[in-house]
């Protein structure tokens, strides 16, 4: 069987290599599929699907593995950014993703499997009483659109509304209003544009804008992370 590399979109029967995992889709009868995920030669997950319209491999929020415990994602920048008083700039930042296998029937889908692409870590943002738990990721900064395999790219616009220099070392994102997009047939993933308005040297608010790349498709959000009807900004009150 030919091994195929990771590409987002519709899945044909066969075997795919996804990071250190192998995902196998085999037809075992009419409208029946056997799905297996291997790490090395060991089967780590096996599912049988009865009745389906299409199967898709899509990038998904890094919130579902090893266990869903938070909506928040804290990106700590490997390179801190100094921003002059009253100025505005933009950069591109890595957003971690996992890979999900969706099975559809009449536009209704279920998440068959979520394949983690990196070692998960969590952090406390704020204090134990008033703060929040967030998924942690140490993110690189880019100055132009650079698709990264196994990651999503976010455009981050930074606006310093204070009268002093500020240093930005991290970004807190709520994954519910965050939207993940993919370019079908490629391994490119993106989020929408994020706007970080800095109100003081230690506080900011993060807004969620529109996509900044064309020819991309949004993923269907898993039930835990459906977009709220009213999208509010995310306040960063315990340091930026």
Partner 1 sequence: MHLNTVFNETTPGIGWLYQIDWIRVLIALGVLFTGIFISLLIRRVIYRVSVKFMPKDISSILSKVVYYVLVIIVVISAFGVLGIDLTGLIIAGGILGIILGFALQSVTSNFVSGLFLFWERPLKIGDLVEIDGQIGRVVDISIMSTKIVGLDGVLIRIPNEKVFQAIINNPSKTIARRIDFVVGISYHSDAEKAYNVIREIVLKHPFVLVYPEPDIFVEELGDSSVNIRVRVWVPTSEWYNVRKELLWNIKKALDQSGIEIPFPQRDLWFRSPLEIRLKK
Q: Which residues bind partner 1 (CB under 8 A)?
A: 66-67, 69-70, 119-125, 128-129, 131-133, 136
* Min separation Cβ 202 and partner 1, Å: 15
Cα–Cα distance for residue pair 189/92, rounded to 1 Å:
13
* Min separation Cβ 229 and partner 1, Å: 23
> How many CB atoms lie under 10 A from the CB of residue 51?
11
CA dihedral 227, 131, 100, 32 (to 10 degrees): -80
The pairing of beta strand 98-105 with beta strand 54-60: antiparallel
* Min separation Cβ 108 and partner 1, Å: 30
* Min separation Cβ 161 and partner 1, Å: 26
Collect all residues with Cβ–Cβ distance below 8 Å to 130 and sequence separation of at least 6. Answer: none
For residue 114, give both structure tokens: 């979520």
> Which one, 29 or 128, has the nearer CB to partner 1?
128
> Which one, 132 or 197, has the nearer CB to partner 1?
132
> Which one, 22 or 170, has the nearer CB to partner 1?
170
Phi, psi of 120 (to 5 degrees): -75, 140
DSSP structural state of residue 163: S
> Which one, 65 or 205, has the nearer CB to partner 1?
65
């Amino acid at each position: 069987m030919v091994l195929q590399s990771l590409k987002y979109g519709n899945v044909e029967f066969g075997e795919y290599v996804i990071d250190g995992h192998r995902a196998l889709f085999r037809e075992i009868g009419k409208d029946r599929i056997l799905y297996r995920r291997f790490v090395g030669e060991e089967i780590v997950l096996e599912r049988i699907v009865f009745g389906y319209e299409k199967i898709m491999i899509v990038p998904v929020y890094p919130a579902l593995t090893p266990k869903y415990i938070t909506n928040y994602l804290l990106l700590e920048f490997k390179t801190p950014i100094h921003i002059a008083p009253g100025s505005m700039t933009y950069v591109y930042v890595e957003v971690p993703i996992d890979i999900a296998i969706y099975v559809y029937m009449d536009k209704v889908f279920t998440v068959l499997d979520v394949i983690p692409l990196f070692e998960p870590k969590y952090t406390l943002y704020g204090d134990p009483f008033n703060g929040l738990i967030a998924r942690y990721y140490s993110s690189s900064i880019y100055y132009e659109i650079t698709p990264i395999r196994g990651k999503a790219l976010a455009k981050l616009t930074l606006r310093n509304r204070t009268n002093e220099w500020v240093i930005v070392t991290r970004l807190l994102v709520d994954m519910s209003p965050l939207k993940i997009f993919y370019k079908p047939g490629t391994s490119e993933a993106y989020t929408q544009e994020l706007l970080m308005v800095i109100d003081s040297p230690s506080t900011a608010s993060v807004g969620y804008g529109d996509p900044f790349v064309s020819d991309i498709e949004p993923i269907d959000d898993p039930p835990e992370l459906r977009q709220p009807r009213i999208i509010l900004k995310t306040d960063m009150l315990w340091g930026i």
